[in-house]
Structure 1
Amino acid sequence: MKKVLIALDYHPVSEEVVNAGYELAKKMGAEVCLVHVLSDVAYYGIQYQPFMGYEGYSETAIDLNVASEMRQVAEDYLDKAAEHLNDEKVGKHLAEGDTARTLLDYADEWQADLIVMGTHSHSFLEKLIMGTVAAQVLEKTKIPVYMVPVKK
């Protein structure tokens, strides 16, 4: 395996996913790319404690109704996640769209050999109505997926 794609969502458990995926990739001598899919701007308004060096955003600094500003917030998050690994060879990719489909499309485009992603609990209703991104990826993937179990 030569290329490992690590999928990040906007959640503090992403730090565990990044660390586990990066460690696995390094053991295999594989190239790493962090990917984040900008799909639901509501996630960026959640105030978490700083994680991976990302401090979050200030409500007064951005207008959530402006897509370009939201993209900048997401790019900042992805930049901080890459800096967290302290490896200048780590690639980054920010995409927009349906998370599972967009992730799989980019994995194909980048010719990834493995997708690393986390699983964390969602509400029963959310799972029932939408499923989880992890389940959607597993259902449609053509390449192996390494799931990192994380809990809130």
Structure 2
Amino acid sequence: MYHKILVPVAFDDDAKIEAALDIARVLAAEDAQIVLLHVIEHVPSYAVQYIPEDLRKAAHDGIQAELKRLAGTVPGGRGVLIEGHAGRTILDYVDEKKMDCVVIASHRPGMADYLLGSTAAQVVRHAPCAVMVTR
């Protein structure tokens, strides 16, 4: 059983989120912390001026509210929202917070994934802890 579980969350497929949370619940020790992490990619400086600040704030607030709701469905759950590159930010968070397990959803790889690598593949290759991948 794991005590510090990280579940990276991408809001593109709710079924994958639920599958990852189900696995986290099974793997969690009685006193476990389960952190749901969403990484917002940096908006390039040349594009940020075209996105209204109130729209960015509304998106940020909406994501935080959904993370809080989802975190309430798992014991010891909490949501964290960070800005950065998804793969590198997840790995940095694992190192910084000394997570002992990552439960991450993956998708069927496309051509770009073979050339560049997916976030899940990057986490699997470089995480210093156990990684469970769900599809």
TM over 0.5: yes
1:33 aligned to 32, 35, 40, which one?
35
CA distance in 1, matches of 2:17, 2:74: 17
Q: How many residues align?
A: 125
Which consecutive residues of structure 1, in runs of 5 or more, have no partner in the other structure? Answer: 42-63
**Matching residue of 1:5:** 6
Matched, 1:133 2:134: no
Moved >6 Å (runs of 4+): none
AA matched with 2:41: S
**Change over 3 Å in CA distance of 1:146–1:88 after alignment to 2:** closer
CA distance in 2, matches of 1:122, 1:67: 34
Aligned to 1:83, what secondary structure does the other structure show?
helix
Aligned to 1:106, what secondary structure does the other structure show?
helix
Matched, 1:80 2:66: yes
**Matching residue of 1:110:** 97
Instruction: Supply the RMSD in Å over aligned alpha carbons.
Output: 2.7
Q: What is the TM-score of this pair, normalised by structure 2?
A: 0.76
AA matched with 2:98: Q
Aligned to 2:12, what secondary structure does the other structure show?
coil
**Deviation of residue 105 (structure 1)?**
0.5
Report Cα offsets for 1:8-63 as digits up to 9, x if no partner: 112122232223223322xx22211110111177xxxxxxxxxxxxxxxxxxxxxx
CA distance in 1, matches of 2:12, 2:55: 19
CA distance in 1, matches of 2:132, 2:60: 24
**Matching residue of 1:119:** 106
**Deviation of residue 107 (structure 1)?**
1.2
Report Cα offsets for 1:89-144 as digits up to 9, x if no partner: 411111111111000111111221111101112422x2133211111111211111
Q: Say if 2:21 and 2:74, in contact at 8 Å, map to a contact too.
A: no
Q: What is the TM-score of this pair, normalised by structure 1?
A: 0.68
CA distance in 1, matches of 2:101, 2:75: 20
Q: Which structure is higher in strand share?
A: 2
Q: Say if 2:9 and 2:36, in contact at 8 Å, map to a contact too.
A: yes
**Percent pairwise identity:** 23
Q: Say if 2:39 and 2:81, in contact at 8 Å, map to a contact too.
A: yes
